[in-house]
Amino acid sequence: MGSQNCDRDPKQVLKEAIQAGITAFQYREKGSGALSGIQKTLLGKELRNICRQHNIPFFINDDVELTAVLDTDGIHVGQDDKHAKELRQQFPNKWIGLSVSNLEELHASPLDYVDYLGVGPIFATSTKEDAKMAVGTGFITEVKRLYPNMPIVGIGGINTENAAAVMEAGADGVSVISAVTKAPDIQTAVANL
């Protein structure tokens, strides 16, 4: 998540989510209303520090410069971002995640250089403005069948009602934004997930 996903202080949202039991965090300051420049960096530092205090892995979305500046645990990139091979050379000891939205992208992906795939959008989402077409849980099963050893995290429109179906389809984890940031009670939402 980023500040644009929160109706209140993102630091508080992150703290509550960690207290409630999330196992990883990705800083994704992107889309309308997102911070940029020094403000993006400063919020990133604060969120990274909260994660460090609680031993929660901190990933950054897409931003190579901030990966180094914030000394993140990992970076997550999309198909049009910096190539994973170059990222691996630049950051040999960080986790690298790659988004995959269809079979064509999967087959063209540099899987040897990534640690996990973010697969989606599984369901329709209004959080990402340029989200591709929803692929459904069947695509998770297909990716897992083709690459059984590649960790897969489902993303896009996942909530407490449908998360189990994503896991049953073969995902190793689920990744959510609004299911936590828009939850009336984060404790309950994360506990239900």
Neighbours of 163 (CB within 10 A): 19
Residues numbered 92-151 forming contacts with ligand 3NM, rule: CB under 6 A: 99, 101, 118, 120-121, 125, 127-128, 131
C-alpha distances in Å from residue 188, one per residue of 20, 26, 114, 153, 191: 8, 21, 33, 22, 5
Q: Which residues from 25-84 bind ligand 3NM, rule CB under 6 A?
A: 28
Q: Which letter does DSSP use for residue 60 in this model?
A: E
Q: Which stretch binds ligand 3NM (CB under 6 A): 41-49, 69-77, 102-110, 177-185?
A: 177-185
Number of residues that bind ligand 3NM (CB under 6 A): 18
157 binds ligand 3NM (CB under 6 A): yes
| Whether 40 is catalytic | no
Select the span of 41-49, 50-58, 62-70, 172-180 touching ligand 3NM (CB under 6 A). 172-180
3-state DSSP assignment of residue 41: helix
Exposure pattern of 48-80 as b/e (b: 16+ CB <10 Å)? Answer: bebbeeeebebbbbbbbebbeebebbbbbbbee
Known catalytic residues? 28, 99, 128
Could you list the residues known to form a binding site, using ranges. Answer: 26-30, 61-62, 81, 99, 125-128, 157, 177-178
